[in-house]
Amino acid sequence: MAGEPGPQSDALCELELQAVIGFNGHIPFGLICHPDREHFVYPLGCTVIIQGLNNNTQAFLHGHTNNVSCIAVSRSGCYVASGQVTFMGFKADIILWDYKKRELLARLSLHKGKVEKLAFSPNELYLVSLGGQDDGSVVVWSIAKRDAICGSPASARSAGNATVLAFSNCRDEAFISAGNGTIRVWELDLPNRKIRPTECQTGSLKRVITSIMMAEDDSYFYVGTSSGDILKLNMKSKLMSDYGPVKEKFSLGVTALLLLKTGDLVVSTGGGIVALCKGSNYKPIKKIQVQGGVTSLTLRGQGHQFFVGTEESQIYRLNYNDFKEELITTCHNEAIHDIIFPSGTSDLFATCSKNDIRVWHTPENKELLRITIPNMTCHAIDFMRDGKSIISAWNDGKIRAFTPETGRLMYVIDHAHSMGVTAIAATSDCKRIISGGGEGQIGYWEVFDGSAIRNLEGSLTGSINGMDITTDGTYFVTGGDDHLVKVWDYNEGEVTHVGMGHSGSITRLRICPGNKYIVSVSADGAILRWKYPHSS
């Protein structure tokens, strides 16, 4: 099974992960601003990342054996909890972390297949977890004892699956679950180790609930729906008091809600709208458009500032007063096809994907340049040895060269390959380009005038997607569909180190000049930087 350790894996050393460029915007509520107001917490692959808001420092919580599917942070910020997916029929772990020490406190295993959602009680006595579609149960855990107190099916047999959770803001014994045609308020009976649900009544309205927001005093709560409206329910009577907007609903559904101290609601949608709503009609008074459907809304402090995470791997900062978005984090949101370092320097590298080529500053993980060709996919890139151009291979059969400083197009070789250009390299004298095509042809091109020198038949097969070797030939690295980065001793033919962190197939990897880092890229759009394990 992919990802399972081999018999000698205990003896292998782990690669040290130094930095990550990537944000998985497809995990609902996956971006959380920590109560210390200085850090984000978010999952990427099987790792939970703690990133500084101002200084871009990163810490990594390793412990999951598969992709992290949900996270939660306790009110004081002392605890972080994360749940994962696993193979059908196997138990999916929840891990409780000590935030300050960055340590694993407990591994909680009851749910099968997937952990859908997690929530902490207001005084951090309990953690409640919701299983995925194949599990369908809700479990309350004691944080002090690190053990399950009780569990129950999350929704009635006549209703659909529950997918969202929220704890009461004032009581440790009450929480809410909701989903497809179900809204339930649960009461914990600790002496009898039971949880008892009460179904909330919404009259003739049938809705799929996508998000929950509790009022500060617990008197009522709001739920967002996939239909694009918001329901307000009374916590005591369990009845709906109002809903809206009645006419102009939010396009592509309400994905997240924030209730501010002023009583205003911030609403995000699957269409990339973030709106500020006042009053019981939920009519937007201010709104902005971001790139990609919004999956996360998180407050910093009391609500003067909040952050937005989208499906297209973008993170935006918004201030309440001016309600203008500022893009603070961006990365590839499609598969990355290639990564390359310029000759002789490890401080820069370039990556390519659908629509664009990006140049990054290695020490700061910062994007320096983006070259965009809309609706085209770049399969491979190379830096000319003299550093004067980046040459690139595209699926429209063209070879394009750009300046590395400004991204200006220098020249194009049209019709280089009939089935798209899939591989590219430059000769050391910078006068010729060698390219490979989807039809199996290899082309030699003159840089001076773009003319073809010769064409050859060639093909390449293999299960490993990326490989690189050190300049002295003693070690090489490989990556492929098993999501693992492996460092090999060339003479012995044995693996010396393994790196786990990617959630998608590794598409390419490179050892930088000077052997300081290994940088690997994957089909999920993530870029991971590892410390090179052997002394130069």
DSSP-based three-state secondary structure for 9: helix
Amino acid making up residue 135: D
Instruction: Confirm if 352 and 380 have CB atoms less than 8 A apart.
Output: yes
Query: Does domain 210-330 fall into CATH 3.40.50.2300?
Result: no
Q: Which residue has the tokens 């009022």?
A: 215
- DSSP letter string over 401-446? EE-TTT--EEEEETTS-TT-EEEEEE-TTSSEEEEEETTSEEEEEE
Q: pLDDT band at 8, cuts 50/70/90?
A: very low
At 480 the pLDDT is: 86
At 64 the pLDDT is: 94
Specify the pairing of strand 494-500 against strand 13-14: parallel
Tokens found for residue 65: 């054996």
Whether 41 has a pLDDT exceeding 80, the answer reads yes
Q: pLDDT band at 450, cuts 50/70/90?
A: low
Say how far apart CA 500 and CA 521 lie, in whole Å: 13
Say how far apart CA 115 and CA 398 lie, in whole Å: 45
At 438 the pLDDT is: 83
Show me where the domains of the chain are located. 210-330, 338-531
Q: pLDDT band at 455, cuts 50/70/90?
A: low
- pLDDT, tens digit (0-9, with 9 covering 90-100), for 334-359: 899 999 999 989 999 999 999 999 99
Contacts of 23 (CB under 8 A, 6+ apart): 31, 42, 44, 309, 313, 314, 315, 329, 331
Q: pLDDT band at 442, cuts 50/70/90?
A: confident
| Cα–Cα–Cα angle for 242, 247, 252, rounded to 5 degrees | 95
- pLDDT, tens digit (0-9, with 9 covering 90-100), for 470-489: 988 889 998 888 888 999 98
Say how far apart CA 224 and CA 163 lie, in whole Å: 12
> 429 or 190: which carries more pLDDT confidence?
190
Range 275-279 average pLDDT: 90
At 11 the pLDDT is: 61
Contacts of 331 (CB under 8 A, 6+ apart): 21, 22, 23, 313, 367, 525, 526, 527
At 7 the pLDDT is: 40
Whether 270 has a pLDDT exceeding 50, the answer reads yes
Q: Which residue has the tokens 């919404």?
A: 202
Helix, strand, coil share (%) of the chain residues, nearest 5: 0, 55, 45
Q: How many residues does the chain have?
A: 536
Pick left, alpha or beta for residue 185 (phi over 0 → left; psi -120 to 50 → alpha; otherwise beta): beta
Taking the CB of residue 126, how many other CB atoms lie within 10 A of it? 21
Whether 59 has a pLDDT exceeding 80, the answer reads yes
Say how far apart CA 188 and CA 172 lie, in whole Å: 8
Say how far apart CA 433 and CA 452 lie, in whole Å: 10
At 452 the pLDDT is: 66
Query: Does domain 338-531 fall into CATH 3.40.630.40?
Result: no
Residues 280/285/289/293 CA torsion (nearest 10 deg): -10
> 22 or 457: which carries more pLDDT confidence?
22
| Cα–Cα–Cα angle for 271, 230, 198, rounded to 5 degrees | 130
> 400 or 431: which carries more pLDDT confidence?
400
Say how far apart CA 55 and CA 232 lie, in whole Å: 39
Q: pLDDT band at 462, cuts 50/70/90?
A: very low
Whether 422 has a pLDDT exceeding 70, the answer reads yes
